[in-house]
Chains A and B, each alone.
Chain A
Amino acid sequence: MPQIELAGKIYEVDEDGFLQELDKWNEEFAQAYAKTEDIEGPLTEEHWKIINYLRDYFKQFGIAPMVRKVCKDNGVDMKKLYELFPTGPAKGGCKLAGLSKPTGCV
């Protein structure tokens, strides 16, 4: 299992960099990780809103929400979502939120 060092701490991740132990997630993890997903500078309030939303949804339902739901519930469109997370809501957003890897016919 690969490991990654972020802000002085070691995390277990899979080959794609998705956090393996969800309870190890913290805000420093997300912030330190943002760089690798092409997000410059500190995470903004808009970023945190989406990240927290993804975490809450995942806690409640055990899966990541559908993209349309993310947009609707947060009042953002796809364009905005990709501005915030240039690598996309699945690869970028879910990764920073510490959700397990999206699966299926990708």
Chain B
Amino acid sequence: MAKSKTPLLDELEKGKWPSFVKDIKQAAQKSPMAEDLLQQLELSYKDKIGHWKHGGIVGVKGYGSGVIGRYSDRPDLFPNVQAFHTLRVNHPTGWFYKTDALRKLCDVWDKHGSGLTNMHGSTGDAILLGTKTEHLQPCFDDLSAAGFDLGGSGSALRTPSACVGPGRCEWACIDSLDVCYNLTMEFQDKIHRPMFPYKFKIKVSACPNDCVASIARSDFSIIGTWKGKILINPAEVTIYAGSDLDIQKEVCDLCPTKCMEWDGKTLKIHDGDCNRCMHCINLMPKALRPGKEKGATILVGGKAPIVQGALLSWVVVPFMKLEPPYAELKDLIERIQDWWDENGKSRERLGELIKRVGMRVFLKAVGLPAVPQMVKAPRSNPYVFFWPEEIQKEVK
């Protein structure tokens, strides 16, 4: 038997986790691109550096985003990955597929690409990994015919994504699937034709558990919540009390605001002090439910470290009712994007612009009132600016 050409990668076929090496090898049986990808990757393992060239600008007609161009820096060794572009395909909201939709996607990709995919990219898109420039437009045309459109890339609105929400989850306070789909359709132009200073991401979680990590991975985070009382089912509480769950120790004592009382029989929640952290509901899902008046908290500014440091989104609207057609939400998004687009420097994320000019300027520009929920603590330094018009002239 011939000696393996990929001894380093072969190590990764061992072990119990599904091996990407095995999968690429399987794809390589019918795709020369997948075969060369494997060989180039082996070289990268050996050299401990990437073997892709810097950048790449390719695309399809009418769109300025959706395709990420990539070229091998060793086309002499791996001619089949000389060009190895990625297409971002906008995923169905919540990643719910029927098999016939996936089959269509696979048929298009078998015809035009390497057969390799990433299900899914971190932003949410179905990623089609590796095709040549001349295949981009025909591949896009076939995708369109199959009912798929491209997602975002570059300085554009990126593909919005949402948790499964009411599709499968009893904690959903908003229809995250519908909000996400509605915003995606509303802002098609901003997704396909980059017009901003930098990227802008929207993510929708239907409750504070935040299963799409919107607070950490989107410039505009929509997180479901409720007002008023947590709904308690006393009969179910009694059943939990008889189970392994120690309600005092594991639920009440861990409540961050210490707003729960348990006397061994009755569970009381002082809802005025509850910060809707989800802990008690997570532990006693059959007994406790989010309250009846539902909506979402809107947060902005989440981003990765480059340039000014990582940020989690912070609150700008404590509570907003969300019902189709989501006019108030869309209006707020437009106002924020317009202000950012007008004032942002090249490659400055929304969070960084707000850090640079201050919440005071941001809130005034987008017409939001300053409220206590926006801060964890008031400022500790006294360098307070005043709007000139707020200063009363001295009266003699």
Interface residues of A (CB under 8 A from B): 15-16, 18, 38, 63, 66-68, 78, 82, 86-91, 101-106
Contacts and interface: CB of A to CB of B under 8 A. Distances in A.
A88 B64 contact: yes
A82 B63 CA distance: 8
A86 B61 CA distance: 6
A97 to B, nearest CB: 14
Interface in B42-91: 53-59, 61-65, 68-69, 71, 83
A104 B347 contact: yes
Contacts of B83: 15
9 contacts: A16-B69, A82-B193, A87-B59, A91-B59, A91-B64, A105-B153, A105-B199, A106-B57, A106-B153
B195 interface: yes
A53 B69 CA distance: 26
Contacts of A91: 57-59, 64
B224 interface: no
Given A88-B64, A90-B64, A102-B57, A67 B69 contact: no
B337 to A, nearest CB: 11
Nearest to B189: A78
A82 B62 contact: yes
A90 B57 contact: yes
A101 B56 CA distance: 8
Given A105-B154, A106-B153, A68 B195 contact: yes
Nearest to B58: A16
A86 B54 CA distance: 25
Contacts of B68: 106
Contacts of B54: 103
B197 interface: yes
Interface string B185-196: 000010001111
A68 B58 contact: no
B155 interface: yes
A68 B193 CA distance: 12
Please report whether the interface of chain B is mostly helix, strand, loop or mixed according to DSSP.
loop
A38 B61 CA distance: 8
Interface in B165-193: 189, 193
A56 to B, nearest CB: 18
A48 B54 CA distance: 30
A72 to B, nearest CB: 10
Contact of B193 (A63, A78, A103, A104): A78
B107 interface: no
Interface in B8-56: 53-56
A99 B244 CA distance: 68
B197 A66 contact: yes
Contacts of A18: 57
Nearest to B306: A105
A82 to B, nearest CB: 6
A87 B57 CA distance: 11
A60 B61 CA distance: 30
Given A15-B83, A16-B69, A66-B346, A89 B64 contact: yes
B20 to A, nearest CB: 24
A63 B347 CA distance: 13
Contacts of B155: 67, 104
B341 interface: yes
Give 3 nearest A-B pairs by CB, closest first: A88-B64, A106-B154, A16-B57
Contacts of B341: 68
A89 B63 CA distance: 10
B71 A15 contact: yes
A102 B62 CA distance: 18
A87 B346 CA distance: 21
Contacts of A86: 61-62
Contacts of B154: 90, 104-106
Nearest to B193: A78
A67 B195 CA distance: 6
A70 to B, nearest CB: 10
A16 B56 contact: yes
A8 B355 CA distance: 53
Looking at A88, A91, A101, the one whose CB has the most chain B CB atoms below 10 A away is A88
A50 to B, nearest CB: 14
A78 B69 CA distance: 23
B55 to A, nearest CB: 5
B175 to A, nearest CB: 30
A88 B55 contact: no
A22 B83 CA distance: 24
A87 B193 contact: no
Contacts of A104: 154-155, 347
A64 B173 CA distance: 45
